Structure 1
Amino acid sequence: MIRKMIRVAIWGLTSRQREIVSFLHDQGVLHVEHGEAARITDEEADSLRLLRSKLLGMIESLEWDSWKEIRDEDLDDLGRNLTLPFSQMIEETNESLDHFKKELSSLLEQREEARRLGNKLKGASHISVHFRSFVQSENEENRDVSIWWLRKEQVPEILSEIQSLLISDHSGRGPVPELHHHVFHIREKESLLAVGVPLEYRGPVNLFLESEGFVSWTPTGCEPGMGLLRCMEYMDEKLNESPKACDHIEETLSGVRVQWGSRLGALFILIDERLEQLVVEQRGKDMGEAFMLEGWLPEDERDPLCEKLKKVFGDDVMVRWRYPTSDEWQVVPTAISNPTLFKPFEIFLKLVSPPSYRGTDPTVMIGIFFPFFAGCIIGDAGYGVVLASLAWWLRKRTNHPMVADGAFVLLTMAFWSVIWGVIYGEYFGDVAHRIFGIEPLVVERSHAVVPVLAFTVALGLAHILLGLALGVIEGIKNRSHHLWMERGGNIVIILSMIGALCATKGVIPQSFFSVSMIVLAIGLILLIAGGGVGGLVESMSSFGSILSYVRIGAIGLSSAILAMVASKFVDVLGVSFLGIFIALAIHLLNFVLATAESGLHSARLHYVEFMGTFYSGGDTEYRPFAKKRRRSFNWKKR
């Protein structure tokens, strides 16, 4: 239902402008019209914007996101404590934030450094595993080991040159020194080569490899003078200490987050609200010692707001109001209010522009027909119970308003699915009939295809006629002769064609055929007068729209047949693991398809066929000047 709106002008003393705007912000009912005032920036506004950005950056760096923990009482207490002059408050807040930012940056840098070191240690440990036994055995034989980066194809050549170097340096003294090596191929073309030589040949071998441009590998954290084996042991010690260091830093950050997160969040909300108030103050009309603020207000909010303003500000505030004129209907913001049972169905209007102020709110009709059609498509009591369980669980688990509304819509779909399932006698297909002998209450839709399809066409006829009737009402209400004549002509033509068909089939006396033709002529006159030649095309599309409701029965029949196919697998494979598994898999697939298709096609019937006959979107949505915390706003990055 669209709420009746009034145009409001509030006059107040300039000396109390900030108090009055803050009061209106608290009430959260006035849709402020900003007008053309250009005083949208000044030093105070810019300072607040910078401070808000700095706060948001700090909150994100702190990785705090528990906005729902901030209570209104905490915000009010913090607001009362901010008693310093504005400029001094901004200055001291910036100083405190700069000091806190340094401490936070230090902690974040420590955490990042600890993570980098941990990753390096893990990578080095992965490499050292392949060389540890080789290094240990060489160390026991008092030989030197070094590890070098090189390309895979260079390994044989380098080993040959090192061996030649050892032979040439030997000069016939004693036995030829042995060259030990171990290779680990890291990637397709990259390898690490560990070279083990006697201690006295360490210098020449290392000098040769360095001269060839190769780079030695040492474990992360290795200090000069450490042997390779000791470096690996030291690296293991650091690797064991790394998680403890990271955990300690995380604990410190967590403590800072708990201590400061909600405070920074509350301060951000207050600064954001103050900035909103400042924008409204700046865009009010300056009239010297007085100011004027204009906007729109739901009529039922008028008396409470006026009484509160009078009580708080007395004669310092004056309010005048009037109803919108016909010239203003296009700019009046649309405020929607529906009974609790139908309010969740307002979610369907999120995908379209809000209804125009003098239009029709389809929420109640959607709340009645959408679950009815969707339940008719699913038409299985077993599936309905499963869907209701999932929807109930989702509704209890979520705190998001839109998700909760969607879960309620699913609950209503499940309710009608159970009712239609009882009518059709479907409980997971024919499982209940097989086990308990339960029969359909009215008809089994898989055996009564034509009656079911005829029933869905009748549903479409009633739904389309209702939409056209709403279009007639909207046309009369908005003084649009073309609209109500076109929609009315459509209704007359459809009813006359039905009457002529019934007379031809003998359902009603033949004499009514002539009456139907006369009524048809009247309908054509109205249609052409209202919509011209385009009205005739629109009339033909109305018959197509009625026939499109066949999809309710057709999709439902396919779902019923697929559910019975699942039972057939048990007949073929017996009550075995394979038979039950396939039957459950088909039921799961059918449940998902039936739920999705029922929602999609029911929504299409409403958006295209039904709402297309009367719905007119508006440009302006009712957005009251209100504190976001009052509207259960989920604070996000902005």
Structure 2
Amino acid sequence: MIADMVNLKIIGLKGDSKDLIEHIRDLGVLHIEEEKEYYQATEEPLIEKMRFLRAGVLGLLEDLGWKDLDNPDWGLAESLREIVPLNDMAVLEEIEKSLMEFKERLSKMTDEVRALEESTVALKQVHYIATHFHSFFSEEKKNEKVVSLWLVDSSKLDNLLKGLERTIRSLTPVVERPYLNHKAISQGENFLVLALSVNPESSLAVSKIMEEFGCISYLVPKTAMDELALESPNTSQMELKWLPKKLAQAKITLDAAKREWGPRLAALYILLDEGLELLVLEKRFSGGGELFTLNGWVPLSALEDTVSSLKHRFGERILVTWRDPEPQEWPKVPILLKNPKWAKPFELFLKLLPMPGYKSTDPTALIAIFFPFFAGCMIGDIGYGIVFGLIGLWMFKKYRDRSAIMMNVSQILMNIAILSILWGFLYGEFFGDLGHRLIHLKPLWVERTEGIIPVMAFTIALGMAHILLGLALGAYEGVRHNKKRHVYERLGTLFTLLGILLFIVNHMDLVNINFMWLALAFLVFGLAFLIKGRNLAGLIETIGSIGNILSYIRIAAIGLSSAILAMVATKFVDVLGVSFFGILLAFSIHLLNLIIAIAGSVLHSARLHYVEFFGKFYEGVGNKYKPLKRRRGTAWKKP
């Protein structure tokens, strides 16, 4: 659900402004709206410098690849807060100077590591080529021939050699024998390195014809001893012995810099971020008069404690008033999601979307119900559910108090596991048909590999219920926000779908009640609402909703494919016997099916929510609630 917010207005003496901001930061509940025009009009050198340094520190942290972003050294941050006065331009300039020096050092260390890595790769290739061509190169040089290396398209080699022979023969006097010698080594699938040896007087003509054939001259680098690698492959081999050691040492130095400077830069970022907030707010209060005014938003649940704390700290020196937001203010009211413990992990799905508007529907609880239900229905296997549950439990223990996102993922996975086990009992599946083979496990409802039609019919009915719920929520949102056209569209589609549903029920004699007149009534009302809302264009939305409902068949289709693959895994043991190879193949297919099952169920369950369900009522028009608070024990990297 979306928490109720109140607008809080504080009027106080300008001399208390700094203490008030610090106190509000300690409370950590007041969301202060950013005034963009104000920021643009009131920039001053100190603010510009602090903002520049904050961006620079964040860039250095990214260059360092410092991963522990959610758990900085809070003790170090507190120490810096006490000893570093950020409101002093001279201090900021010293910080900037130190950051520039460190950035230069970091750049040198990074460049050295990159250069050594590239040199290692290049030297291995050169040593391979030098070892292959060394004897050829030495022999030809001894005979006073000119040797050159070329990168050649292997498909052109035959024509190239024939062209070279013709050219050399035309340049060679009749009394002399034309000379051409070559040796080649493969370089990838389509290329090779070709070594050519010719007489000195033919070298220029050879180079010209090689270039005409699109060949590239292969330049052999020198070794550290300033010798060509072809002349001294032993030297390049010696380099390959010490170069990895030098690279490892360079990496150790770089890692040590990361460990040393990562926490320091993170603490400095916290300090700069807090200081910038404080400075901007103080600047806002620097206008004329002896009083200042501060407006913000506070959750209704925190209002009493906030007002009490402010009154206790500042007494009669401040005046605090509050009021509920007016409807015209709803678009700018910050959104705070407050859901019960069982639904809270599913707020993760809304992080991929803009926040819902104030006084609108928070779909988190509905996601918490339907998402694991859909995913569990697709997986529908007791054995797979147990495996997913164990993985979720391992993740929960591993990331407890370390990563909020991974904690949420682990709890979502455990919910999916529970529903998978329940659906597994309904389908009678334990690692496919293994449960039936071992303990004669029978389905409580239907075996989905045989009862395909009932399962598909159930998923269509499930889709109908889900879409109708979305349309009902859409109509409710339209009434709440006084959007009449929205109400007509959603009610028109809802009534039309109900009319079609009742017509099908009546036509197939699924119940002993005649719903024909009721179906016609729903269709008439639905058509009337659609015409009232969007004329005949509303019929297109109704047709789209029917398509949305049919797309829920994917629940049955994906689940059926998973069940069949699980049964195929067991069949390998039947064919190959209880042997190492048979068990290995069965295990491999089950492992593959596990990965496909969790990936497919999560992906398609999310799609059914984001596309089919949310499209009926959800509008991401809200702003996230970001209270002014001290970065202490919380994620410091702002969203």
Same fold (TM over 0.5): yes
1:94 CA drift (Å): 3.6
1:72 CA drift (Å): 2.3
- Give the aligned partner of residue 604 of structure 1: 607
Q: Between 487-496 and 17-26, report the one with greater CA deviation.
A: 487-496
- Give the aligned partner of residue 432 of structure 1: 435
Q: How does 1:233-252 map to 2 (within 5 A)?
A: 242=243, 245-248=246-249, 250-252=251-253
Q: Deviations over 1:157-193 (max 9, x none)?
A: xxxxxxxxxxxxxxxxxxxxxxxxx998788566599
- Give the aligned partner of residue 291 of structure 1: 292
Q: How does 1:33-48 map to 2 (within 5 A)?
A: 33-35=33-35, 36-37=37-38, 38-48=40-50
Matched residues in 1 for 2:219 and 2:473: separation? 84
Matched residues in 2 for 1:316 and 1:514: separation? 71
Q: State the AA in 2 paired with 1:50.
A: F
- Give the aligned partner of residue 507 of structure 1: 511
* Secondary structure of the corresponding residue to residue 334 of structure 2: coil
- Report the CA distance shift for 1:147/1:411 in structure 2 as closer, same or farther (over 3 A): farther
1:69 CA drift (Å): 4.9
Q: 2:477 aligns with which of 456, 470, 474?
A: 474
Q: State the AA in 2 paired with 1:615.
A: Y
Q: State the AA in 2 paired with 1:82.
A: V
- Give the aligned partner of residue 70 of structure 1: 72
Contact 1:69 1:262 in 2 (8 A): no
- Give the aligned partner of residue 363 of structure 2: 362
* Secondary structure of the corresponding residue to residue 296 of structure 2: strand
Q: State the AA in 1 paired with 2:53.
A: L
Contact 2:74 2:267 in 1 (8 A): no
Larger radius of gyration: 1
Q: 1:463 aligns with which of 463, 466, 469?
A: 466
Contact 1:30 1:296 in 2 (8 A): yes
- Report the CA distance shift for 1:330/1:46 in structure 2 as closer, same or farther (over 3 A): closer
Gap regions ≥5 residues in structure 2? 151-160, 166-180, 208-216
Q: How does 1:407-422 map to 2 (within 5 A)?
A: 407-422=410-425
- Report the CA distance shift for 1:494/1:288 in structure 2 as closer, same or farther (over 3 A): same
- Give the aligned partner of residue 317 of structure 1: 318
Contact 1:184 1:192 in 2 (8 A): yes
- Report the CA distance shift for 1:471/1:574 in structure 2 as closer, same or farther (over 3 A): same
Matched residues in 2 for 1:60 and 1:548: separation? 42
Contact 1:467 1:611 in 2 (8 A): yes
Q: TM-score, normalized by length of structure 1?
A: 0.76
- Give the aligned partner of residue 170 of structure 1: none
- Report the CA distance shift for 1:283/1:119 in structure 2 as closer, same or farther (over 3 A): same
Matched residues in 2 for 1:537 and 1:96: separation? 63
1:47 CA drift (Å): 1.7
Matched residues in 2 for 1:294 and 1:611: separation? 34
1:279 CA drift (Å): 3.6
Q: State the AA in 1 paired with 2:318.
A: V
Q: State the AA in 2 paired with 1:389.
A: L
Matched, 1:50 2:52: yes
* Secondary structure of the corresponding residue to residue 350 of structure 1: helix
- Report the CA distance shift for 1:503/1:41 in structure 2 as closer, same or farther (over 3 A): same
Q: State the AA in 1 paired with 2:148.
A: L
Q: Deviations over 1:90-137 (max 9, x none)?
A: 233344445656666676677678778877876776677569999999
Contact 2:434 2:570 in 1 (8 A): yes
Contact 1:381 1:422 in 2 (8 A): yes
Contact 1:147 1:192 in 2 (8 A): no
- Give the aligned partner of residue 342 of structure 2: 341
Q: Deviations over 1:399-436 (max 9, x none)?
A: 54334323322221121111111111111221111122
- Give the aligned partner of residue 450 of structure 2: 447
1:338 CA drift (Å): 0.9
Q: Between 353-362 and 125-134, report the one with greater CA deviation.
A: 125-134
1:42 CA drift (Å): 1.0
Gap regions ≥5 residues in structure 1? 138-143, 157-181, 194-204
Q: Between 8-17 and 522-531, report the one with greater CA deviation.
A: 522-531
Matched, 1:423 2:426: yes
Matched residues in 2 for 1:461 and 1:244: separation? 65
1:372 CA drift (Å): 1.0
Matched, 1:405 2:403: no
Contact 1:499 1:513 in 2 (8 A): yes
1:368 CA drift (Å): 0.7
Contact 1:489 1:524 in 2 (8 A): yes
**Percent sequence identity over aligned pairs:** 40
1:360 CA drift (Å): 0.5
Matched residues in 2 for 1:85 and 1:462: separation? 60
- Give the aligned partner of residue 632 of structure 1: 635
Contact 2:2 2:336 in 1 (8 A): yes
- Report the CA distance shift for 1:40/1:119 in structure 2 as closer, same or farther (over 3 A): farther
Q: State the AA in 2 paired with 1:91.
A: E
Q: Deviations over 1:505-550 (max 9, x none)?
A: 383455x655665566556656655665455555565555445434
Q: Between 75-84 and 96-105, report the one with greater CA deviation.
A: 96-105
- Report the CA distance shift for 1:585/1:24 in structure 2 as closer, same or farther (over 3 A): same
Contact 1:149 1:216 in 2 (8 A): no
Contact 1:12 1:318 in 2 (8 A): yes
1:48 CA drift (Å): 1.4
Q: TM-score, normalized by length of structure 2?
A: 0.76
- Report the CA distance shift for 1:249/1:289 in structure 2 as closer, same or farther (over 3 A): same
- Give the aligned partner of residue 372 of structure 2: 371
1:590 CA drift (Å): 3.7
Q: Deviations over 1:265-288 (max 9, x none)?
A: 311321133223334444568353
Contact 1:379 1:421 in 2 (8 A): yes
Contact 1:332 1:357 in 2 (8 A): yes
- Report the CA distance shift for 1:311/1:352 in structure 2 as closer, same or farther (over 3 A): same
1:446 CA drift (Å): 3.0
Matched residues in 2 for 1:456 and 1:233: separation? 71
Q: How does 1:124-143 map to 2 (within 5 A)?
A: none
- Give the aligned partner of residue 165 of structure 1: none
Contact 2:137 2:147 in 1 (8 A): no
- Give the aligned partner of residue 197 of structure 1: none
Contact 2:5 2:299 in 1 (8 A): yes
RMSD of aligned Cα (Å): 4.9
1:362 CA drift (Å): 0.8
1:363 CA drift (Å): 0.7
Matched residues in 2 for 1:69 and 1:437: separation? 51
Matched residues in 1 for 2:193 and 2:502: separation? 85
- Give the aligned partner of residue 12 of structure 1: 12
Matched residues in 2 for 1:122 and 1:89: separation? 49
- Report the CA distance shift for 1:273/1:147 in structure 2 as closer, same or farther (over 3 A): farther
Matched, 1:222 2:225: yes
1:355 CA drift (Å): 1.4
Q: State the AA in 2 paired with 1:436.
A: I
- Report the CA distance shift for 1:288/1:118 in structure 2 as closer, same or farther (over 3 A): same
- Report the CA distance shift for 1:135/1:591 in structure 2 as closer, same or farther (over 3 A): closer
Matched residues in 2 for 1:216 and 1:458: separation? 70
1:376 CA drift (Å): 1.4
- Report the CA distance shift for 1:315/1:378 in structure 2 as closer, same or farther (over 3 A): same
- Give the aligned partner of residue 31 of structure 1: 31
- Give the aligned partner of residue 352 of structure 1: 353
Matched residues in 2 for 1:47 and 1:116: separation? 38
1:344 CA drift (Å): 1.3
Q: 1:92 aligns with which of 88, 91, 94?
A: 94
Q: Between 35-44 and 586-595, report the one with greater CA deviation.
A: 586-595
* Secondary structure of the corresponding residue to residue 30 of structure 1: coil
Matched residues in 2 for 1:304 and 1:609: separation? 42
Q: State the AA in 2 paired with 1:71.
A: D
- Give the aligned partner of residue 169 of structure 1: none
Contact 1:128 1:219 in 2 (8 A): no
Q: How does 1:113-192 map to 2 (within 5 A)?
A: 150-151=148-149, 191=195
Matched residues in 2 for 1:217 and 1:499: separation? 81
